[in-house]
Amino acid sequence: MGAQDWSNTEDAALAAAIGDASQEALAEVYNRHSGAVHGLARRILRDETLAEEITQEVFLRLWNNPNKFDAQRGSLRSFLLAHTHGRSVDLIRSESARRTREDNDARLATGAGQNIEDEVWSTALADQVREALSALGEGERRAIELAYFGGHTYREVADLLGEPEGTVKSRIRSGMKRLRQSLTAAGVTQA
């Protein structure tokens, strides 16, 4: 239980230490990723209180079920953000939160738009990500924006855009694949 400096430890090793009940390891993971988790939850939910609830839940779940994270299946960051996204979307699809969100939507309508390219600056890789986004077709980009930030199902996206469901469904998939190709070519993700 001696003081260990975790700041140079890789995420996967931190996750393993959390499995051994190291609170310091959890604190380090929290230091690294709580801003991204909280920022994503707040972006989707447009509500600070709910975003804090989700942030709390995401890190408590990591503590209580550290084995759900499998380093073979991706990075800790994407694991935490995927959980954040899933739970945030669950919440906005629940009826009680929907009203608040619609109110907030109306309030924010004149503020920051849904433009995904404005949103992306979270990492030092922002330029490459922005470039990859610009390589997408407009339809692909809109569909991904509405699904990822809007928390809409692809059927709802199809409604919103007035396009066939099948088209939207395949655009989301092809868009994500194309993004990955661009990012891999730029050396951001691995092939």
Partner 1 sequence: MKVEELLGAYALDALDEDERLLVDRHLSTCDSCREEVRDHREVAALLAPPPIPPPDRVWGRILAGIAVAAPADELAPVVPLRRRERRFESTRWLAGAAAAVAVVALGVTVVVQSGRIGSLDDQVTAQQQEIAAFQADPLRQAATAALEDPNARIADLTAEDTEARMQIVLLPDGTGYVFENTMTPLPDEATYQLWALVDDRIISAGVLGNDPGVVPFHLDPAGVQGLVVTEEVAGGVAQSESDPVVAWFEA
Q: Which residues in the 15-54 window bind partner 1 by CB under 8 A?
A: 21-24, 26-27, 30, 34-40, 42-43, 49-54
- Smallest gap from Cβ 107 to partner 1, in A, equals 16
With respect to partner 1, which residue has the nearer C-beta, 73 or 109? 73
Q: Which residues in the 159-188 window bind partner 1 by CB under 8 A?
A: 169-170, 172-177, 179-180, 183, 188
With respect to partner 1, which residue has the nearer C-beta, 110 or 165? 165
Asked whether the beta carbons of 132 and 179 are under 8 A apart, the reply is yes
The tokens describing 146, both together, are 């509405």
- Cα separation, 64 vs 8, in Å, equals 24
- Smallest gap from Cβ 140 to partner 1, in A, equals 10
- Cα separation, 70 vs 141, in Å, equals 30
Asked whether the beta carbons of 59 and 30 are under 8 A apart, the reply is yes
What is each CA distance from 83 to 7, 61, 136, 143, 176, in whole angstroms?
24, 10, 26, 21, 18
Residue owning tokens 């998939």:
173
The 113-142 site mask, x for binding partner 1 (CB under 8 A), equals ---x--xxxxx-x---x-------------
Residue 42's nearest CA partner among 133, 104, 126, 110 is 104
- Smallest gap from Cβ 180 to partner 1, in A, equals 5
With respect to partner 1, which residue has the nearer C-beta, 109 or 191? 191
**# residues contacting partner 1 (CB under 8 A):** 79
The tokens describing 164, both together, are 């066939």
The 60-89 site mask, x for binding partner 1 (CB under 8 A), equals xx-xxx-------xxx-xxx-xx--xxx-x
With respect to partner 1, which residue has the nearer C-beta, 43 or 163? 43
The whole-angstrom distance between residue 47's C-alpha and the CA centroid of its chain comes to 16
